[in-house]
């Protein structure tokens, strides 16, 4: 199985005030934390891509956001097309601003999407919060999701995944915090 591991790095970080990928958490940048947790899981046929740029250096493969969409849908649309082109078995997307997430969570998302041949979205254990950006999509669902985005009916990730009949995987809240403001 080959996985496409995507770090969603788009956005202007306006609430944060500076690029999130440069932000530090326990002495490491958000970008390094994201890459390291993927490397713990990745196989020889896996790829890691940065979605939305900018690229911090030449070592990163960057998938540019689709220009006809806004926000996370722009990144997701481009990533789904890239996953389809590269014949990746599963696409796993993690937002750059979740430094407390663990490798195990990404592995569970990937494995569940493969087992179900579907779309799996992370949800909070104690609240009704869904983390619509933290998701794994099986290859059998790429074209469905692309078609839904391109039909223009979804408008948000929540609507997209609801339309595509996603499944949910529950994680403890402390690992799902998005860091939207600097300390």
Q: Which residue has the tokens 């958490």?
A: 25
Q: Which helix (H) or strand (E) holds 30?
A: helix 30-39
Q: What is the CATH code for 3-175?
A: 3.90.550.10
**Domain boundaries in the chain?**
3-175
**Over its length of 183 residues, how does the chain's per-residue pLDDT go in tens digits?**
899 999 988 666 667 767 788 888 899 988 999 999 999 986 777 899 999 877 788 888 999 999 999 888 999 999 999 999 999 999 999 998 899 999 999 999 999 999 999 999 999 988 778 888 899 999 999 999 999 999 988 889 999 999 999 999 999 988 988 877 666
DSSP string over 75-138: HHHHHHHHHHHTT-SEEEEEETT-TT--HHHHHHHHHHHHHHTSEEEEEESSSS-EEEEEEEEE
For residue 132, give the nearest of 140, 123, 144 by alpha carbon: 123
State how far the Cα of 173 lies from the Cα of 183, in Å rounded to an integer: 19
């Amino acid at each position: 199985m080959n996985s496409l591991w995507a770090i969603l790095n788009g956005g202007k970080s306006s609430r944060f005030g500076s690029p999130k990928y440069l932000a530090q958490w326990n002495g490491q940048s958000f970008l390094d934390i994201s890459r390291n947790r993927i490397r713990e899981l990745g196989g020889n046929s896996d790829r890691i891509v940065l979605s939305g740029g900018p690229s911090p250096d030449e070592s990163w493969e960057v998938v540019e956001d689709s220009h006809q969409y806004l926000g996370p849908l722009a990144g997701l649309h481009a990533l789904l097309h890239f996953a389809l082109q590269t014949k990746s078995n599963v696409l796993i997307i993690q937002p750059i601003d979740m430094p407390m997430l663990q490798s195990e969570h990404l592995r569970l998302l990937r494995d569940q999407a493969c087992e179900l041949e579907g779309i799996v979205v992370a949800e909070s254990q104690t609240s009704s919060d869904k983390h619509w950006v933290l998701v794994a999509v099986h290859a059998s669902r790429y074209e469905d999701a692309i078609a839904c985005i391109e039909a223009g009916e979804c408008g948000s990730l929540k609507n997209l995944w609801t339309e595509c009949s996603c499944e949910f995987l529950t994680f403890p809240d402390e690992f799902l915090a998005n860091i939207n403001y600097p300390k």
